[in-house]
Structure 1
Amino acid sequence: MLDLNDVAVFVQVVRFGSFAEASRRLGVPPNTLSRRVQQLETRLGTRLMQRSTRKLALTSAGQAFHDRCAGAVDGLVDAGQELMSGSQAPGGLVRVAAPADFFDFFLMAWLAEFLAAHPRVRVDFVLSDARADLIAERVDVAIRGGPLEDSGLFARKVLDAGLDGLVASPAYIAARGAPGTPQDLADHDCLGFGHASGRVTWRLSGPGETEAEVQVAGRFSGNTVQALRKAALAGLGIALLPSTLTRRDLRAGLLVPVLPGHHREGHGVNLVYPSRRHLPPAVSAFIDLVVDKLGAVEELPAAYGPA
């Protein structure tokens, strides 16, 4: 079995560029450091570095080994320093799963302020419209829109559900006319999330607590509401979108309401994380950042998805 202390010494020597500099930084005699690296090479059965009095050069095996180990060693060092100091100051890596277009509506300036306020925190974003497996992908927190599954995960609401409304561009309505009833939607190009059948079902609430269910189809579909919004703006059809997303376009006249008396209950945006117990300070601070910034947003200039 490898001695993890030898691995840590190797990573630190590589980082500092020489045994002499590593000795000065770590307060350990250079001969001791050299001996620990030699022990590691013996255990691995390969040379990791070429030595000289002033500098060292990694072999190809040494470079590959360093690339695999450096992040893990840094994590162990950070964890040990936090425990030994008893500090609750946020520090370490926060791994975040978010929709592919997350930074279309979450300002990078907000993240810059956060990192400036917490200099020991690092963030790694996994941007994808696929729903992340938090445990398997070692994700600390995910930003999710849509209904929450009963998965045993913990969630904190960022944006209330609100209502989803039907919208289209003025050009589309001028060319195709406006539907008079929900059933008329079946004769229109409707923009929805892709389905193998090419059709999706919209369930709408109407005046007087009436309910309507209609199957719709169109020539364009997508897997994010941002894509559907852009398709609606381009005149490709009627879309059922969150009011927080379309409010600005409606005010500007870029979109017009369709069947304004009918809507669908929205799902809002939530932060999802594996456990609320022993939540690392860095993760807790990041959650507070997102709740603070997005919680004050009344209009999303872009979409959120199923991260």
Structure 2
Amino acid sequence: MMLDLNDIGLFVQVVRFGSFAEAGRHLGIPANTVSRRIQELEDQLGARLMQRSTRKLKLTDAGYELYGNSAAAVDGLHQAGEDLIAGARIPKGLIRVAMPADFFDFYKMEWVADFLAAHPQVRIEFVLSDAMADLIEEGIDVALRSTQTPSPNYVVRKILSRSIGLVASPSYLAARGMPTTLQDLTRHDCLFAPQARDYATWRLQGPDGVEEEVTVTGRVMANTAQAIRKAAIAGLGIALTPILGTADFAAGRLVPVLPHYMRRNLSMSVVYPNRTHLPLAVSAFIDSVVGKMRTEIMSA
């Protein structure tokens, strides 16, 4: 026998309001409908729950037992629903965020502090890796990615376009010399992510807008942009890296190499699994990241 939990909840309300008519008035249900549904519940249970009179209702022993066992559960379900509704209006809960390993090199932790101060019921877990996370499989709410996702199940919100260019440390260039053509890179140590082979093919647009490619090798490989940047600063080779700001240039840690060769329009996007019923905390965080990166980073 499958009981209708709505009828049990209705029974609890009838007991509290003291009559079918009063319960129906508060719930927006006709009194005769309330009476019919309680009778159907009694028929399913095979027990009389209340004695009716023209003035009042009196619970039977079975009615007292059902009310005692179900009233708290009905209240709990009602409160759970109210909490969900409140949560839809106020950002709250844990947000799991997948970001590149070097994310906090260009996104200030103070901006995270500002967001948390504005939303005191929100918690954030950052998963920092250059690996492409499976958002659904890994329980990720939102990710920042440098390329469009191939999955049609994800929503992609473009933040900005950026360029990547060649950089090296002054010490490396002093020891090995400054390349003057793209093909000169074949005689240099270059820094790139490890693959199934010990070389990488870089495709860059030249000053005339035509794409050229060069095959490079090197003695150091790393699977995060931050590690490659640090290796370049340490003088271990020439790196092809995103250009988001000039802090390393201003500090003299890195200098541009072949600055007329760039890979342009590399998109940076916020990616999340579903557009419908997006938790308010996630939506607020996405708006915060997009706003900060479009205004403060691009104006740097």
The bucket for the TM-score relative to the shorter chain is 0.5 to 0.7
Match of 1:99 in 2: 100
Distance 1:92 1:80 in 2: 16
Q: CA 1:251 to 1:79, structure 2 compared with 1: closer, same or farther past 3 Å?
A: farther
Q: Which residue of 1 aligns with 2:56?
A: none
TM superposition shift of 1:287 = 0.8
Deviations along 1:132-170, whole A, 9 cap, x unmatched? 11111221111222x213211111123x22221111111
SS in 1 for 2:97: strand
Aligned length: 227
Report if aligned partners of 1:242, 1:266 keep a CA contact under 8 Å in 2: no
Q: CA deviation at 1:85?
A: 4.8
Q: Residue 45 of structure 1 corresponds to which residue in structure 2? A: none
Match of 1:59 in 2: none
Aligned to 2:264: 265
| Residue 285 of structure 1, CA deviation | 0.8
> Aligned AA for 1:102?
F
Q: Which digits, 9 at most, give the CA deviation of each residue in 1:265-304, with x for residues without a partner?
A: 2524221101111111111111111112222233799xxx
- TM alignment of 1:269-280, pairs within 5 A: 269-280=268-279
- Kindly indicate whether the alpha-carbon contact (under 8 Å) linking 2:202 and 2:214 is maintained by their aligned counterparts in 1: yes
Residue type of the alignment partner of 1:109: E
**CA gap 1:115/1:252 in 2 versus in 1, 3 angstroms:** closer
> Which ranges in structure 1 are unaligned for 5 or more consecutive residues?
1-34, 37-75, 302-307
Equivalences for residues 157-168 of structure 1 within 5 A: 157-158=158-159, 160-168=160-168
Match status 1:182 vs 2:186: no
Question: What are the Cα deviations for residues 72-118 of structure 1, in whole angstroms up to 9, with x where unaligned?
Answer: xxxx9996333455851212222222234434443333222222222
In the superposition, the TM-score normalised over structure 1's length comes to 0.66
| CA pair 164-103 structure 1, distance change in 2 beyond 3 A | closer
Partner of 1:141: 142
Aligned-partner Cα distance in 2 for 1:78–1:116: 27
Instruction: Give matches, 1:152-301, under 5 Å.
Output: 152=152, 153-158=154-159, 160-245=160-245, 247-298=246-297
What does residue range 46-57 of structure 1 map to in structure 2 within 5 Å?
Answer: none
Structure 1 residue 117 corresponds to structure 2 residue 140: no
Contact in 1 for aligned 2:162/2:268 (Cα 8 Å): no
Rate the CA distance shift 1:77–1:258 in 2: closer, same or farther, 3 A: farther
**Is the CA contact 1:165–1:242 (under 8 Å) kept in the aligned structure 2?**
yes
Is the CA contact (8 Å cut-off) linking 1:93 and 1:122 kept in structure 2? Answer: yes
1:244/1:300 contact within 8 Å kept: no
Change (3 A) 1:128 1:164: closer
Q: What is the aligned-residue identity percentage? A: 55
Give the deviation of 1:173 after TM superposition: 1.3
Q: Deviations over 1:177-212 (max 9, x none)?
A: 112211111111011111221100001111222321
Change (3 A) 1:171 1:150: same
- Indicate how the Cα distance of structure 1 residues 105 and 206 shifts in structure 2: closer, same or farther if over 3 A, else same: closer
Distance 1:279 1:102 in 2: 23
Question: 1:95/1:194 Cα in 2 relative to 1: closer, same or farther (>3 Å)?
Answer: same
Q: Which residue of 2 aligns with 1:39?
A: none
Distance verdict in 2 for CA 1:80–1:112, change over 3 Å: farther
User: For the residues of structure 2 that align with 1:293 and 1:275, how far apart are their CA atoms?
Assistant: 23
Following the alignment from structure 1 to structure 2, what is the Cα–Cα distance between the partners of residues 170 and 87? Answer: 53
Seen in structure 2, the aligned counterparts of structure 1 residues 77 and 191 have a Cα distance that, compared at 3 Å, is farther
Distance in 1 (alpha carbons) for counterparts of 2:164 and 2:230? 16
Shift in CA distance, 175/96, structure 1 to aligned 2, threshold 3 Å? same
Q: Partner amino acid for 2:228?
A: L
User: Hey, what's the Cα distance between the residues in 2 that align with 1:79 and 1:156?
Assistant: 32
Q: Which moved more, 1:194-203 or 1:110-119?
A: 110-119
Distance 1:77 1:124 in 2: 30
Q: Distance in 2 between matches of 1:279 and 1:188?
A: 48
Does the C-alpha gap of structure 1 residues 191 and 150 become closer, same or farther in structure 2, counting only changes over 3 Å?
A: same
User: Which residue identity does 2:264 align to in structure 1?
Assistant: E
Aligned twin of 1:29: none
C-alpha spacing 1:249/1:86, structure 2 compared with 1 (3 Å): closer
CA distance in 2, matches of 1:299, 1:173: 29
Question: CA–CA distance in 2 between the matches of 1:105 and 1:78?
Answer: 42
Q: Secondary structure at the match of 2:90?
A: coil
For structure 2, the residue ranges without an aligned partner over 5 or more in a row are: 1-67, 70-76
For the pair shown, the structure with the greater C-alpha radius of gyration is 2
